[in-house]
Amino acid sequence: MSSGRRAARGLSVAFLCDRCGREAVQALGSDARPATCPGCGLRFEAPAGGALPASRLLSRCLRCGLDRLYVQKDFNKKAGLWVFIVAALLSVPTWGLSLLAATIIDLILYFALGDATLCYGCGALHRGFRKNPDHGDFDIHIQESVDRRVRTA
């Protein structure tokens, strides 16, 4: 888990393993090595260097090539949850002040984190890219049209 976090600092794409469904993180760049699934050891070749836009603006999913992408905060829900669990345990001796602190910490985490670009088709999560103005927030209508396209393909 710690190695995955470190890779996420640069350009990377995270996706679910085809074989076992665990999350694999593929670092990107000219010297990127193939990713290995932490669950089953399946290797994924790095996307070709040419696929990486020099502008660091994504136009297509680096995993499946779909051009329907959306942007959301790269917020680690698990970390946020732990902040609250610890705060709840501490709230008795601190008369609830720790819960207030946890809310503030969560807000800080939320705004300190960058944006991640997600693919409507395969759910791959791209980190470290600049926000493409063409990409908006998640839109259920786009998701439905993409789902329909996948089903009928």
Q: What string marks each residue from 74 to 113 as x (binds Zn ion by CB under 5 A) or -?
A: ----------------------------------------
Q: Does residue 40 interact with Zn ion by CB under 5 A?
A: yes
CB of residue 13 vs Zn ion: minimum separation in angstroms? 9
Of 27 and 119, CB closest to Zn ion: 119
Complex with Zn ion: residue 102 or 118, whichever CB lies closer: 118
Kindly give, in sequence order, each residue whose CB lies less than 8 Å from that of residue 104, ignoring residues fewer than 6 positions away: none
63 binding Zn ion? (CB under 5 A): yes
| Residue 39 contacts Zn ion per CB under 5 A | yes
Distance CA 5, CA 2 (A): 5
- Residue 51 interacting with Zn ion (CB under 5 A): no
The DSSP line for 16-50 is E-TTT--EEEEE-STTPPPEE-TTT--EEPPPPGG
Q: Please say whether the beta carbons of 19 and 42 come within 8 A.
A: yes
The reply to whether 35 sits near Zn ion by the rule CB under 5 A is no
- Does position 37 interact with Zn ion (CB under 5 A)? The reply is yes
Which one, 91 or 143, has the nearer CB to Zn ion? 143
Residue 42 makes contact with Zn ion by CB under 5 A: yes
Other beta carbons within 10 angstroms of residue 122's beta carbon come to: 17
Distance CA 51, CA 66 (A): 13
Q: At 69, phi and psi to the nearest 5?
A: -130, 155
Q: Which residues contribute to the site for Zn ion (CB under 5 A)?
A: 17, 19-20, 37, 39-40, 42, 61, 63-64, 66, 119, 121-122, 124
